[in-house]
Structure 1
Amino acid sequence: MAIEKVRDYFSQWNLDARIQEFETSSATVELAAQALGCAPERIAKTLSFKLEKKCVLVVTAGDAKIDNAKFKAHFKTKAKMLTPDEVDRYIGHGIGGVCPFAVNDDVDVYLDHSLKRFETVFPACGSSNSAIELTIDELEKYSNSVAWSDVCKNWQLQA
C-alpha cells in the first residue's frame, strides 16, 4: 500500500508520526480541507503529467490551476495529465493519494510558486485519506524536488 511506502520514507527522519489519517476521504482539495479544518488553498495538490520520455509531478496550492501556456513554456510540451491507470503504474501512488514522496525513481518533482505564500501546507501521503503538515522548506527537502516552477494561474487572485 502506498501510504506504507510513504510512512517508511518519512521514518528515515522520524517524521512518520506526523502523518495524519482520516476516517473520511481527503482525495480532493475540498475534502482534504474539510478533514484538516484548513483553507483549501493550503492543500498541496500533486498533479501528474506525461512528458515525451518521462512523467513529472507538479505540486501546487489547492486554489491554483495549471496555465497551459506557462506549462508549455516551462516543459516545452503541452500539459497532458496521466490517466488514472497510468498514475499508479508510473508514479507509484493511486489517484486521490498522489504525493511527491516515495515516488518511482524516474519521476521528477516540481514545486509551483503558488505554494510559497504559506508557512505550511498539507500534501497527501499516498492514500485518499492522509496528509502531513510540512513547512515549505520541508516540502522542498522531502519531496526531492528538481526545481521551483511557475506553471499555474488564478491563485494570485486569492492572495
Structure 2
Amino acid sequence: MASGPERFLAATAHLPITPQRMPDSTHTAAEAAAAVGCEVGAIVKSLVFVAVHPDDSREPVLALVCGDNRADLDALALVLGARIEKADARSVKESTGYSIGGVPPLGHPAPVRTVVDRDLLRFETVWSAAGSAYDVFPATPQQLVDWTGGELADIGTR
C-alpha cells in the first residue's frame, strides 16, 4: 500500500502542488511553523469533526483552521446546522484516509465537506499537511477554498 504522501501526491497530481518533506515533525502547528519558517497562523490545521444532523444522520466534516486559532465548535455548528462532535483517530482515518497529524485538506478517498477558517485570508501563503507529519505543501488560502470546495466562515477563535 502506498504511503500517505504518495497517496496525496497521486490524488492531487492534476493540481499545482509541490509537497516538501521536512527533516523535523510538523505534527503540531508550532512544529510545522518552526520547520517551514513561518508564523504559526500560516499553518493550516486540518481538523476532522462529526456533524450530527437533526435527523441523527452523521457526516464527517473537515475544518481548515488557522494555526494560531482554535476551532470554534459553536460557530461550526451554526454553519453546518448540526451538533458537532470530535472525531476519534479511527474515524479520522476512515473519512480521510490519513492519520491525525498528516491529514491534508484534500486528496481524500471520497469528498469530505469542508469549512475554511476565514482568518487564513490574513496570509499570502499557508502551509498544509501533505499526508504525513513530515510532509507539507504551500498554497494560497483561496486555492485551498477552490480545491476543497470549502465554505469560508468565521470558525476560528483565539
TM-score band w.r.t. shorter chain: 0.7 to 0.9
SS at match of 1:71: helix
Q: Any conservation in 1 of the 2:63–2:71 contact (CA below 8 Å)?
A: no
CA distance in 1, matches of 2:74, 2:141: 26
**Unaligned segments of structure 1, at least 5 residues:** 155-159
Q: Give the C-alpha shift of residue 146 in structure 1.
A: 3.3
69-78 vs 53-62, which moves further = 69-78
SS at match of 1:69: helix
Q: Which amino acid aligns with 2:9?
A: R
Which of 55, 60, 65 does residue 65 from structure 2 map onto? 60
3-12 vs 92-101, which moves further = 3-12
SS at match of 1:11: coil
Q: Which residue of 2 aligns with 1:157?
A: none
Which of 81, 90, 114 does residue 85 from structure 1 map onto? 90
Q: Give the C-alpha shift of residue 64 in structure 1.
A: 1.0
Q: Which amino acid aligns with 1:21?
A: R
Q: Does 1:129 align with 2:134?
A: yes
CA distance in 1, matches of 2:115, 2:136: 19
Q: Give the C-alpha shift of residue 66 in structure 1.
A: 1.7
**Unaligned segments of structure 2, at least 5 residues:** 53-57
Q: Which residue of 1 aligns with 2:25?
A: 25
Q: Which amino acid aligns with 1:110?
A: V
Q: Any conservation in 1 of the 2:118–2:153 contact (CA below 8 Å)?
A: yes
What is the 5 A alignment of 1:42-53? 42-52=42-52, 53=58
Two-structure CA RMSD over aligned residues (Å): 1.5
Q: Which residue of 2 aligns with 1:3?
A: 5
Residue 2 to residue 132, structure 1, CA distance change in 2 (3 Å): same
SS at match of 1:80: strand
Sequence identity (%): 26
Larger fraction in strand? 2
Q: Any conservation in 1 of the 2:11–2:108 contact (CA below 8 Å)?
A: no
Which of 113, 116, 121 does residue 111 from structure 1 map onto? 116
CA distance in 1, matches of 2:142, 2:118: 13
Question: Number of residue pairs matched?
Answer: 151
Scaled by the length of structure 2, what TM-score is found?
0.88
Structure 1 ranges of 4+ moved more than 4 A:
none
Scaled by the length of structure 1, what TM-score is found?
0.87
Q: Give the C-alpha shift of residue 106 in structure 1.
A: 4.2
Q: Does 1:150 align with 2:154?
A: yes
CA distance in 1, matches of 2:39, 2:122: 13
